[in-house]
Every structure is written in C-alpha cells, then in structure tokens.
Chain A
C-alpha cells in the first residue's frame, strides 16, 4: 500500500487499519449502491524607541521614589508621548510582560487588574480581561487611571483615549535594550523611577553574567529557535534573536528573506543542513516537543545540537516575555551551552 522505504518512525495504530479494511470490504456494496446500471470501479511586532522623561524634577533616587515623583509625568510609548497626570493608583495591565515589569519596579500595589495571560508574578490580580480581544468597556469598569497594553487590537488605544484614560502601548521590542527602556518608562509613569533603574540594572547584570560565563567557541555556534513544530522560528530582528546575538550565536533563521518577517517558517530540510549547534524549543507545551522527539525526526540524528545534547526546552510564551524573565531565559541558554542543562 504505502511505500515505507527507509521509514524510521513507528508503525501506525492497528485499529485504524482494521476500520479501513472493513470499509474496503464494504466498497463493492457501496459501488452497487451507486445507480443500478453502473459498473464497478507571532507574536506582536513593532519596535520601541522609548525614553522616559519626567516633566519636572523629583526622580533619580530611591528616596525620591519613596517621597514622591512630580506629576504630570510624560513618558514615550509606541504611540508617542503620553502624559500621566497624577500618580496612578488603579493600573490595568493587559500585557504579561508589563505585569512582570510593574511588579519588578515596585508598582505591584497599584496594579488592580491584569489579563488572563499575566501568570507572573503569582500574586498579580488576574482577571478574565484579554489582551488579544480587549474590551474597552470591561477595562473601563475597573476605573483605571493607567492602562498598559502590548497590542493595539480593535482600536483599543483610541477607544480608551475617548474615556480619557492614559494608555501606554509597549509592543514586543526589537532588542533587549529596548525592553529595558519600556521598564524604565513604566517606572517613571508609576512613580518608581529609581527602583525601575535598579530592576533594569539587575536584569542587565544577570544577562551579562550569563553571557560572560559562556566559553567562547573557536567558530561561532549556530542557533535554531523553534516556535512550533512546523518550523516557525525567530530572526535576529526580534528581542530573542538579539539575546542570542549577545551570546555570539549565529541565527540560522537570518537566512530567510526579509519578506518572511521576524518569525519566518523555515523548511525542515534547511534546518537539517544548516546544522545548528543549539536548538531551543519553545513548543514543549503546545506541541509536546523535547530533545527525544527532535532526535527522532528523520535526518535530525546527525544535527550537531542533537549529537552534542544541546537541545533545550523553554517556556512556550518566551516570545511574549521581554521583561525580567529574560534573565532566566539567558541563564538557561548559558547552562545549555555549558552542557549543564
């Protein structure tokens, strides 16, 4: 029936085969039935070039945070300059990364509602609000004095603007540094500029340490980042790609033409011949992929990452986390490169 030349995978379940045989057996009947006379036969996009610029004095030290920032504060978001008239006390965050950042900068107590995807930190006030299908009325119901978003879907920014609520839109950045700029802006907007600076410094230091402890290879190592098991990947024009670049890794997805975007779908045969030395799987949960399943894919057994054991599973949602958790991600990459994960 089927040509199984060189097949290395498992045989198909027998039950289905039996059902098919039964159906085949019934075929003549069905043929006869046909007339008496008849015969047989990714993620978000957009980069940020934000910078926080409080209009007035009062930022710079932790003490200043503790006392008070001087409002109004003007911060730069993806939509341009946004004025925050007073220290926000009812913040709604519809972005998992923004939620992490708000808690990291010490504004957690001011956050009153976060979207259903904001799983970090655990104490974040999760609600049924959605960042993918935001509903202006539902958001307004919390009477927020600041809303943070990562996607301007369904004209939500304009809708909230009509309600006179300050909206900060921070989409996925193109670099790790741009992500830090967002965190500083959130700090400034919420009255925690100094703490934001500390948080950003900590993340930056951890990433730098992870990069520093990674031994330099004589020849640059090649990375393949898998978004899902149909070979969607990320290029260096994303913040994840930027992180890999800091490790001195060469991203095989960069061979894809620009028209394919920052998250191209690669050909399996290309991934094999590109011979990546490191494979990062962000499809462990959605698609049950791991080092063993990758090794079992046809012709993958000889890929350097597989032979050297450098195949690592990370969180599926790593592409929507460009805040503090990026440090953990960097450490995991470093561990894998050092052969410790």
Chain B
C-alpha cells in the first residue's frame, strides 16, 4: 500500500543503511586494542567462511578476532538494533517523539531487578544467569506498571501523554527503590555501577546464541506492526474505522518492544539513548512511515552501537570506557538539540 515513490525511498534508505552497517562492522572487527593487519583480518574472515583467499591471522590473533571481536561486534549490533527498534515502536505507540525504553520504566525496572539479585540473590551474570533474568522480569514489570497506570489515567480523559507521564512516575519510583536497595548493600556498589553503565566487553558466542531467539521474536512482531502503527498515527477513531484496533495494537507493540528492551538489557546492562537518537535520525532520512522507520532503525541502531562500542574500546586503549558513557555522550546533546528544534516528526 506504500506509494511507489515512498517504496523507492524506503529501498534506498535500507540499502544505504545496510552499506553503512557492513562498513562499520568491518571496522569494528578490524580495529581494537591489539593491532591486527587488515588484509589478514579479511584473510581470516574468508577462511572461516570456507573461502581460501589471502593470508589468515596467526593463532592467537585469529582467536582474538573470532572469539572476542566478532561476537562482540555482532552483539553490539544486536543490542543497538533492538534498542532502536524498541524506541521507534514506543514512539509510534505513544505518538510521542520522546518515548524510549528508558523513559517508560523498562530500564529502571531492569535496573531494580538486577540490583536486587546482585545484593540479595545468587548473582550470576552471563547468558541465562540470575542477573539477566531478573532484569528481564523487572523490565516487563516496569512497562506493565506504566501501561496499566497510563491506561487508567487515559480513561479519565488524558491523551497518550498520560502514558508517558505514567512511565516517568514509574521510573522515578523504581529508581528510588533501586537506590534504597543499593544503600543497604554498599559493598556491591561497584558491581551494580559497572552493570548500569553497560558492558559488551565479555560478549561471547554463547551470549549471542542465548539472546538471539528472544530478539528474533520481538523483531518479527515489531516489523509486522509497521502498517498498524502508521494507521494508528492518524488517530484512534480513524484507525478504528480503518479496521485497526488501537488498544490491541498498543498492547502487542508494547509487549514486543519490552521483550526487545529486556533482551538487550539482559546481555549488555543499561545502555541509554540509542532508542531515542536512532529513530529520529532515521525519520529524517527515510520518512515517517513506520514501514520504513522500523527496519531502518533496526539496521541503523546496529551500526550506531557498533560504532559507539568501537569508540569505547579504542579511545583509551588498551583500557575501555563503559559503552553507555559513549552513547550518552552522543545522545544527550542530540536530545537537547531535538528539544530546541522541535521534533520533525510525530
């Protein structure tokens, strides 16, 4: 149903983003604390793909490329893509340019869940450990609370803005609860702090394998809802006459976007601003139809996060910055500029 012009524009945007993503990913695996010759990186990658081209890297360097950098770049891409597509979806559902996983209680809920387990439970990080699981539950509780509160308030005559306000209230409450928990066990502060700032440094193939299924479900659901979100953008009543049930779309998109957020948070900690920044850039490039915004946000978020991770591990090499610091460094000024200029889109 997309007009031919819009479809062409979408095609071009997707192709351009894929090209950027590939270039960034190649840079991501080639650059790091240890110097690996670029031609040998290509040689090694070709060798692992079953091609015999060029000289591969020697033993340890090859292991660094395959066992550390490759899974890390892929996980960064996955996390960035998930956060960005979740952000775009939240913005669509709430028709609010400032909606993102971090304003809706998802991140605060995840933070509380993780803190509780680090301080009182058997804290196990890594895929399917207790910390990611608690973060996952916390994220769903956070968004669930915000959604329930917001729906009740909306019935009393608020617009969709009430949902966002509910998210802010829930975030404040959960953050306070988390701080309270931290006070009680200050000896674990550093561990909590390190997790809150985001960490991709220990990504391995297993991490990737464990988050991928959840990510696939969430992404499939969200991409499938592009058209419904476009219709919803016209307004609830109009959407109803067009055969879209607004409440149901909201619920499905919220669940799927929260699943995406929780999957990302569970493996990488709290990485802010990606869900906010990326969809807005994408709208400027690819138009405002959610059928374009969602897939291009997925790809663009992946490229953005791989780039941020690259900066975080090279700017002070051989030491690293938490990746959340880099995303916020870019994200916060962008957020400010957005407030100043006014959203270009809904």
Contacts and interface: CB of A to CB of B under 8 A. Distances in A.
A188 to B, nearest CB: 30
Given A38-B225, A299-B64, A267 B319 contact: yes
Contacts of B12: none
B191 interface: yes
B125 A265 contact: no
The residue in A33, A42, A117, A286 that gathers the most chain B C-beta atoms within 10 A of its C-beta is: A33
A267 B213 contact: no
A218 interface: no
Main secondary structure of the interface of B (DSSP, over half): helix
B115 to A, nearest CB: 14
Interface in B24-47: 32-34
B68 A230 contact: no
A13 B128 contact: yes
Interface string B61-94: 1011011110000100000000000000000000
Contact of B209 (A4, A34, A256, A259): A4
B244 A24 contact: no
A6 B205 CA distance: 9
Prevailing SS type, chain A contact patch: loop
- Most chain-B Cβ atoms within 10 A of its Cβ — which of A30, A39, A264, A269? A269
B194 interface: yes
Contacts of A287: 125
Contact of B127 (A12, A255, A260, A272): A12
A272 B217 contact: no
Interface in B252-311: 252-253, 255-256
Contact of A31 (B59, B204, B224, B322): B224
Contacts of B220: 27, 31, 41
B9 to A, nearest CB: 19
A11 B206 CA distance: 7
Interface stretch (B101-109, B149-157, B167-175, B181-189): B181-189
A227 B300 CA distance: 35
Interface string A257-276: 10110001111111011100
A289 B133 CA distance: 21
B187 A23 contact: no
Interface string A35-47: 1111111110000
A267 B212 CA distance: 24
A40 B316 contact: no
Contacts of A317: 187
A277 to B, nearest CB: 16
A9 to B, nearest CB: 5
A39 B34 contact: no
A339 interface: no
Contact of B206 (A10, A286, A288): A10
A136 to B, nearest CB: 16
Interface residues of A, number: 66
B263 to A, nearest CB: 11
A259 B325 CA distance: 15
Nearest to B188: A286
A257 B314 CA distance: 11
A37 B209 CA distance: 34
Contact of A269 (B59, B69, B191, B226): B69
Nearest to A117: B187
Contacts of B48: 5-6
B310 to A, nearest CB: 12
A260 B64 contact: no
B162 interface: no
Contacts of A274: 318
Contacts of B187: 116-117, 132, 317
Nearest to B126: A229
Given A228-B191, A269-B68, A273-B60, A34 B206 contact: no
Given A12-B209, A267-B319, A38 B224 contact: yes
A269 B227 CA distance: 44
A338 to B, nearest CB: 28
Nearest to B187: A117
B225 A257 contact: no
A31 B191 CA distance: 39
B190 A42 contact: yes
A60 interface: no
Nearest to A17: B213
A130 interface: yes
A306 B206 CA distance: 22
Given A230-B201, A266-B320, A20 B214 contact: yes
Most buried by A among B34, B194, B223: B34
Interface in A220-234: 228-232
B264 to A, nearest CB: 16
Interface string A108-137: 000000001100000000000010110000
A33 B190 CA distance: 43
Contacts of A270: 33-34, 317-318
A24 B213 contact: yes
Contacts of B191: 228, 286
Contact of B128 (A12, A27, A255): A12
When A and B form their complex, which 6 residue pairs have the shortest distance between CB atoms, in order from nearest? A298-B67, A20-B213, A132-B186, A264-B319, A270-B318, A35-B228
25 contacts: A2-B208, A2-B212, A3-B205, A6-B63, A6-B66, A10-B206, A16-B210, A20-B213, A24-B217, A27-B220, A41-B220, A132-B186, A133-B183, A229-B202, A230-B202, A256-B318, A265-B319, A266-B33, A267-B201, A267-B313, A268-B201, A268-B202, A272-B34, A273-B34, A299-B67
Interface of A: 1-13, 16-17, 20-21, 23-24, 27, 30-31, 33-43, 116-117, 130, 132-133, 228-232, 253, 255-257, 259-260, 264-270, 272-274, 286-288, 298-299, 302, 317
Given A23-B213, A266-B33, 4 more contacts: A2-B212, A7-B205, A30-B221, A38-B228
